[in-house]
Chain A
C-alpha cells in the first residue's frame, strides 16, 4: 500500500514536469506529435527506472559503506551518463526492435535533469531499493502522461488563431500552466 502511494504521489500529485519543473527541455522540444511524445515517454520510463535502481544500489553498497555519501552528485551524474550510453549500446545489439522504437530519444535523456533529480530525491527521502524503483517508475510515468497530453493539445492548437508573438513556445508554456492547475486537483489524493 505504501509503495502504491509512492507511485501515485510521484506520478500525479508531484508531477515531475508540472510541479517540479524537471525535464522541461524535452517536454517543450519533443511534444509536437503524440507518437514522438509517447516514444520519448517510453525511453524516459526505461532509463529513469533503471537509473533509480542502479543509483540506489551504488548509494547503499558503495557510497554508504565507504562513508563518502557527499560524493553522490558527482557519482550519480557520471553513472547516469554512462548508463544511458550503455543502455543504448545494449539495446542496439540485443533488442534491435526496441532500440528502433526508442533509439532517437535515448541520447536526449542524459541532458534531462529529471533523471538526476529522481536519483537525488530517492536519497533525500531515504527510500529503500524497491521504493526507489517504484518512485523512479512513477515519476517517469508522470512525465509520459504530461508529455502525451501536451502533445495531444498541441496537435489541436496548431489550427487555432494565436496572437503572433504567442506562437510556439509561449502558448506551450501557457498550456502547461493550465495543465499544472488541473494537476493541482490531485493534491488531495495523498495526505
Chain B
C-alpha cells in the first residue's frame, strides 16, 4: 500500500510529467486554450495511461523483448480508439474541441515512457497506481496552464467570466503564439530553480538515472534537469535490427548529436 501512495506522489509531484519531466508537450500546448479543454485532455490521457499500464504490466511476461515497442504501440492505439469512441458518444463537445489530438495520444511520449520504464517491470496493481499518479500529474499540469491562459487570455475560468468588465483580455495568450510564450516562461522558471539548486550545492547534481547520461536522451526539453526518467523511450539493449520504432528511437538517441546538453 505504501508503494502505491509513493507512486501517486511520484506522478503528482516529484516526477510530474508536465512541470518536471516536460513530456507530452505537443498536447500540452495545443489544447490548453481553456481550463476545460486541459482537464478533458488530461483525464482522457489518464484513462488511457491507466488502462495501457495495466494491460502492458499484465502481458509483460508474454510480450517478447524484441517486439515490445510495436506491441506497446498496438495496445495503446487500441485503448485510444476505444476511448475516442466513448468520447464521441458521451461527451461530443469535448470530442469536437480536442479533435485530432485524441488519436495523437498514441504518440504521446508519457504513455510509452511509463510503459517502458515502469509498467514493463512491475505488477498490475502498482502499474495502475503509477498510471493514476502520472495521469493526474499530467491533468494538473494541463489544467493549471489552461486556467492561466484562460484567465488572462479570455478573462474567464471554466467558461465563467471572472475578471471585471474593464479588463482587456490579452487574447494572444489563447492563440498559438501564447502557447509558446507560456511554455517558454515555464521552462525558464524550471531553469531558474535548477540553477539555484546548483548554486546551493556548489556542484553539479545529477539526478537522472539514465546510465548513459543525457547524450542519448530523447527528451529535448529536459536538458539535464530531469529527475529519475530512466529509459523514457527505451534505451535498454535493443538487439534486433528489424524492429521498427524501438530501433528508430535507439538510432535517434545515438545520432542526435545536435541536442543540447
Contact = CB atoms under 8 A, between A and B. Distances in A.
A70 B82 CA distance: 9
B104 A20 contact: no
Contact of A110 (B30, B100, B172, B245): B245
Contacts of B244: 81-82, 84-85, 110
A167 interface: yes
A126 interface: no
B178 A177 contact: yes
B161 interface: no
B72 to A, nearest CB: 11
A60 interface: no
Interface residues of A, number: 55
A54 interface: no
Contacts of A172: 184
Interface centre among A25, A30, A167 (most CB of B within 10 A): A25
B213 interface: no
B74 A170 contact: no
Contacts of B242: 85
Contacts of A33: 258
Given A113-B104, A116-B104, A170 B260 contact: no
Interface residues of B, number: 55
A176 to B, nearest CB: 5
A170 B245 CA distance: 29
A85 B184 contact: no
A71 interface: yes
B103 A120 contact: yes
A181 B172 contact: yes
Given A29-B258, A81-B244, A165 B81 contact: no
B207 interface: no
Contact of B187 (A107, A110, A124, A173): A173
Interface in B70-84: 70, 73-74, 77-78, 80-81, 84
Interface of A: 18-25, 28-30, 32-33, 36, 70-74, 77-78, 81-82, 84-85, 104, 107-111, 113, 116-117, 120-121, 124, 163-174, 176-178, 180-181, 184
